[in-house]
Amino acid sequence: MTVKWGVIGAGGIAARRTIPEGLAASDRCELAAVMDSDAGRAQAVAGKFGVPGWYTDVDRLLAHPGLQAVYIATPNHLHKEQAVAAARAGKHVLVEKPMALTLADAEAMIDACRQNDVKLMVGYMMRFHAHHRRLKQMIDAGDLGQVVFGRAQLTCWYPPIPGAWRQDPVLGGGGAYMDMGTHCLDLLEMLIGPARSVAAHARALTHSYSVDDSSTVLVEFESGAQGVVDANFNIADEVSQNVLEIRGTRGAVYADHTIGQDSGGDMTAYLSGGAKGYDATQARSGGGAQKIVVERTNIYRAEVEHLSDCIEQESTLCIHDVIPINDGESGLHSLRLALLVYESARTGKVMRLNA
Catalytic machinery residues: 97
Contact assessment for residue 23 and residue 7, using Cβ atoms and an 8 Å cutoff:
yes
**Sign (positive or negative) of CA dihedral 120, 124, 125, 127:** negative
Distance CA 262, CA 58 (A): 29
The DSSP secondary structure of 150-188, one letter per residue, reads EEEEEE-B----TT-GGG-HHHHS-SHIIIIIHHHHHHH
Residue 332 has phi, psi (to 5 degrees) of -65, -40
Coil, helix or strand at residue 94: strand
Coil, helix or strand at residue 336: helix
**Sign (positive or negative) of CA dihedral 275, 280, 285, 286:** positive
Contact assessment for residue 324 and residue 306, using Cβ atoms and an 8 Å cutoff:
yes
Distance CA 83, CA 144 (A): 40
Exposed / middle / buried, residue 206 (Cβ in 10 Å: 0-12, 13-18, 19+): middle
Q: Which residues contact 252 (CB under 8 A, 6 or more apart)?
A: 144, 245, 246, 269, 270, 287
Contact assessment for residue 139 and residue 191, using Cβ atoms and an 8 Å cutoff:
yes
